[in-house]
Chains A and B, each alone.
Chain A
Amino acid sequence: MSDDMGVIVKTMARATIPLIGIFGAYVVSHGHLTPGGGFQGGATIAGAGVLFLIAFGLSEMKKRYDKHLYSALEGVGGLVFLGAAMLGLGTAFFYNTLWHNGPVFNGDPGTLLSAGYLPIMNLAVGLKVFTGLVSAMVGIALYRRWKS
């Protein structure tokens, strides 16, 4: 039994999934400059995953989705966030030492490589939200009990 949505939807999905992903990556990486950030961008990228799941069906998704990889990546996202918060532990937890002392991410305010740990945290949160939401969607799709 095929659970995909037909050739029209699949073609459109093929075209739009990369664009959604790029837009999400933009929101994540400009999190400290423009509206949005790690969570919003990560959720946008996860939207691409959800579109894939709906357009191509669960059986196709199962081939490409590795539970262990995704939950490990989610853990990595959290750990990077925690690590960024711990960088300035000499002064205080969550002290933005990269911004105050460098060596990286201490450019002029408004440029991409500024704001200290914020871009790192945005990337980490983006990774965590993307993997977490995709895992949640696959979980929900897998446990549809009413469909025998």
Chain B
Amino acid sequence: MNGEAILPYLIIIPLFGAFAMPIVSLAGKKAREAWAVIISALTLVVASAVFYHVWKTKEIIVYTLGAKTPFGQGVGFPIRIVWEVDLFGAIMVLTVAFVSLMAVLYSLGYMKHDTGLEKYYTLILILELGMLGIAITGDLFNFYVFLEIMSIASYALVAFRNDTWEGIEAGVKYMFVGSIAGSFILLGIALLYGQYGTLTMGYIAVKIAENPTVTAKVALALFIAGLLFKSGASPVHMWLADAHPAAPSSISAMLSGLVIKVGGIYAMARILFSIYSPMAHSIVLKAYLQPYINMSAIGWLIIIFASLTLIIGNAMAVIQTDMKRLLAYSSVGQIGYILLGLGIGLAAYGTQTGEVALAGAIYHTVNHAIMKALLFLVAGVVIHEVGTRNLNELSGLAKTMPKTTFAFLIGAAAIVGLPPLNGFASKWLIYESSAVFNPVLGAIAIIGTAFCTAAYVRVLYTFFGRPSERVANARDPETSMMLPMLLLVLAIVIMGLLPWQISDKVMIPTARMLEQFKFEYINALMSLAGGA
């Protein structure tokens, strides 16, 4: 199977689905829903094929838009837009496609009573498209375009239920914060383009290593600032706690599970490890006493934000009475873990500890996407059946909604990190590496988990408590809402049964590919120069 040949279909299929949606929906409601499911299922098939190809060959796919080679005629540098997919990108592609399909399936039942659904399904496909684009792109401006596609679709989806002010307020707030973050990132891209005259990530990496100027450092600061905003790290997490609960639950699942990861964590990892290659700066240039950018200091910077994030996020989750708000704060906390892994991976670059931390961060990104999607879908079922998300009124749901409560139990146990489930392995890798790297960080990570446990035990205590009148008539939802939850539970359990196999076969190679000790990301692009 040829990876290059199937890669564009990752963009073509959801784009075709989104554009054709207004026409298909002329044929009626059923056609529209079937169309959304078919398109996202096809995308999942293509995503699995891309992932399998990259995983099998361990080679980076480089795809040029508009020509055979990214290099212009008679010039020695890339001038065209390229897509570069390494294993981390491929993992994100697979996760995005899987969770999006679950969200679309869930929407069939959950959004049944809403109007304007053709716009809803168009936007959900465009949101998926934007995230897939971020995961596969190898061009900075192309990355920005996809980031904005993703962001604008999510602003609109947060405010989709515009019959309440809550959604509109959260959407507007999200839009302001997102635009500020987006302009930081755009300014960073503009600075790099002005300084080095190229936008191709692999080639910018070469130029920055040749001449690490102050401009490159300022651009890095702007990227980190913008992407911390987008990923919802403390102290700029305030939009997340408004936007994620206000959206319809299927969208909350995508926002918390995917958008903050792809638009925040993944993009940050790509910029830190592929553009500001720590191999070049922390090891090669430093050894030869050349000017370099101190990437381990950047790593520490991220670690500081990560520690703040995971304490504040998890602690805020404990005191919430709104179920979806609790889940949103818990997302902030889990982002803290992922950032911690990423920061240690950068600060301890080149050591075993750094590699394990990075693998843990990537693993937790995938795991948290699945767990948080499940938890938000459960919250959606509760809202759908009971009509409230106030935890004080939800006492005793376990009696009337046993299957839903079971799904929540699995999701909560996984996110806390109980051993037979998938959250355990990834959190363990992060604890282990942070304790080896610096015991204080290990302690902070454990404290975060203590808060996280407290928050989820509180919800479970409510669910298993004495039944209140409010929940007496609630019951488990219809199949279209139950099925995605069951599939996510299955994914959690299966991934939980094979923790170290996944870690050794997928996550460690991914971390190694991202660290690019042999400049794989740059070489995959520059090796095409001979063919021009």
Which residues of the other chain, B, contact A78 by a CB distance below 8 angstroms?
A: 15, 18-19
- In contact, B20 and A75 (Cβ under 8 angstroms): yes
Which residues of the other chain, B, contact A88 by a CB distance below 8 angstroms?
A: 66
- CB contact under 8 A between A72 and B8, given known A91-B67, A91-B68, A94-B65: no
> Is residue B500 within 8 Å, beta carbon to beta carbon, of the partner chain?
no
Could you tell me the distance between the alpha carbons of A81 and B65 in the complex, rounded to whole angstroms?
A: 15
Chain B residues with a Cβ closer than 8 Å to the other chain, count: 19
Q: Which residues 57-94 of A have a CB within 8 angstroms of B?
A: 68, 71-72, 74-76, 78-79, 81-82, 86, 88-89, 91-94
- Give the 8 A-B residue pairs with the shortest CB-CB distance, closest first: A78-B19, A93-B8, A71-B22, A75-B22, A94-B66, A94-B65, A75-B23, A79-B19
16 additional A-B pairs beyond A72-B26, A92-B66, A94-B65, beta carbons within 8 Å, are: A72-B23, A75-B19, A75-B22, A76-B23, A78-B18, A79-B16, A81-B19, A82-B15, A82-B19, A89-B8, A91-B68, A92-B8, A92-B64, A92-B65, A93-B8, A95-B66
> Is residue A114 within 8 Å, beta carbon to beta carbon, of the partner chain?
no
- CB contact under 8 A between A93 and B23, given known A71-B118, A78-B18: no
> Which single residue of chain A is at the shortest CB-CB distance from B122?
A75
> Is residue A96 within 8 Å, beta carbon to beta carbon, of the partner chain?
yes
- CB contact under 8 A between A68 and B66, given known A79-B16, A82-B15, A93-B8: no
Which residues of the other chain, B, contact A76 by a CB distance below 8 angstroms?
A: 23
> Is residue B11 within 8 Å, beta carbon to beta carbon, of the partner chain?
yes
Could you tell me the distance between the alpha carbons of A92 and B65 in the complex, rounded to whole angstroms?
A: 6
> Which single residue of chain B is at the shortest CB-CB distance from A70?
B22
Could you tell me the distance between the alpha carbons of A82 and B15 in the complex, rounded to whole angstroms?
A: 8
Could you tell me the distance between the alpha carbons of A91 and B69 in the complex, rounded to whole angstroms?
A: 10
Could you tell me the distance between the alpha carbons of A74 and B16 in the complex, rounded to whole angstroms?
A: 13
- CB contact under 8 A between A92 and B67, given known A71-B118, A86-B12: yes
- In contact, A82 and B16 (Cβ under 8 angstroms): yes
Say how far B167's CB is from chain A's closest CB, in angstroms: 15
> Which single residue of chain B is at the shortest CB-CB distance from A81?
B19
> Which single residue of chain A is at the shortest CB-CB distance from B18?
A78
Which residues of the other chain, A, contact B26 by a CB distance below 8 angstroms?
A: 68, 72
Say whether chain A's binding surface is mostly helix, strand, loop, or mixed.
helix
- CB contact under 8 A between A93 and B20, given known A68-B26, A71-B118, A72-B26: no
Which residues of the other chain, B, contact A89 by a CB distance below 8 angstroms?
A: 8
Could you tell me the distance between the alpha carbons of A88 and B66 in the complex, rounded to whole angstroms?
A: 8
Interfacial residues, chain A to chain B (CB-CB below 8 A): 68, 71-72, 74-76, 78-79, 81-82, 86, 88-89, 91-96
- CB contact under 8 A between A93 and B68, given known A71-B118, A75-B23: no
Say how far A92's CB is from chain B's closest CB, in angstroms: 6
Interfacial residues, chain B to chain A (CB-CB below 8 A): 8, 11-12, 15-16, 18-23, 26, 63-68, 118
Which residues of the other chain, A, contact B16 by a CB distance below 8 angstroms?
A: 79, 82
Say how far A125's CB is from chain B's closest CB, in angstroms: 12
- In contact, A93 and B65 (Cβ under 8 angstroms): yes
Say how far A96's CB is from chain B's closest CB, in angstroms: 7
Say how far A24's CB is from chain B's closest CB, in angstroms: 22
Which residues of the other chain, A, contact B20 by a CB distance below 8 angstroms?
A: 75, 79
Say how far B214's CB is from chain A's closest CB, in angstroms: 36
Which residues of the other chain, A, contact B23 by a CB distance below 8 angstroms?
A: 72, 75-76, 79
Say how far B156's CB is from chain A's closest CB, in angstroms: 12
Which residues of the other chain, B, contact A94 by a CB distance below 8 angstroms?
A: 65-66
Which residues of the other chain, A, contact B8 by a CB distance below 8 angstroms?
A: 89, 92-93
Say how far A79's CB is from chain B's closest CB, in angstroms: 5
Could you tell me the distance between the alpha carbons of A89 and B67 in the complex, rounded to whole angstroms?
A: 10
Could you show 8 A-B contacts with beta carbons less than 8 Å apart? Answer: A71-B118, A72-B26, A75-B22, A82-B15, A89-B8, A94-B66, A95-B66, A95-B67
Could you tell me the distance between the alpha carbons of A89 and B6 in the complex, rounded to whole angstroms?
A: 11
Which residues of the other chain, B, contact A71 by a CB distance below 8 angstroms?
A: 22, 118
Say how far A81's CB is from chain B's closest CB, in angstroms: 8
Which residues of the other chain, B, contact A95 by a CB distance below 8 angstroms?
A: 66-67
Say how far B133's CB is from chain A's closest CB, in angstroms: 12
> Which single residue of chain B is at the shortest CB-CB distance from A83?
B16
Could you tell me the distance between the alpha carbons of A71 and B16 in the complex, rounded to whole angstroms?
A: 15
Say how far A115's CB is from chain B's closest CB, in angstroms: 13
Say how far A85's CB is from chain B's closest CB, in angstroms: 8
Say how far B20's CB is from chain A's closest CB, in angstroms: 6
> Which single residue of chain B is at the shortest CB-CB distance from A93?
B8
Could you tell me the distance between the alpha carbons of A89 and B65 in the complex, rounded to whole angstroms?
A: 10
Which residues of the other chain, B, contact A91 by a CB distance below 8 angstroms?
A: 67-68
Which residues of the other chain, B, contact A75 by a CB distance below 8 angstroms?
A: 19-23
Could you tell me the distance between the alpha carbons of A96 and B11 in the complex, rounded to whole angstroms?
A: 18
Could you tell me the distance between the alpha carbons of A72 and B67 in the complex, rounded to whole angstroms?
A: 32
Say how far B123's CB is from chain A's closest CB, in angstroms: 13
Say how far B1's CB is from chain A's closest CB, in angstroms: 17
Say how far A116's CB is from chain B's closest CB, in angstroms: 11
Which residues of the other chain, B, contact A93 by a CB distance below 8 angstroms?
A: 8, 11-12, 63, 65-66
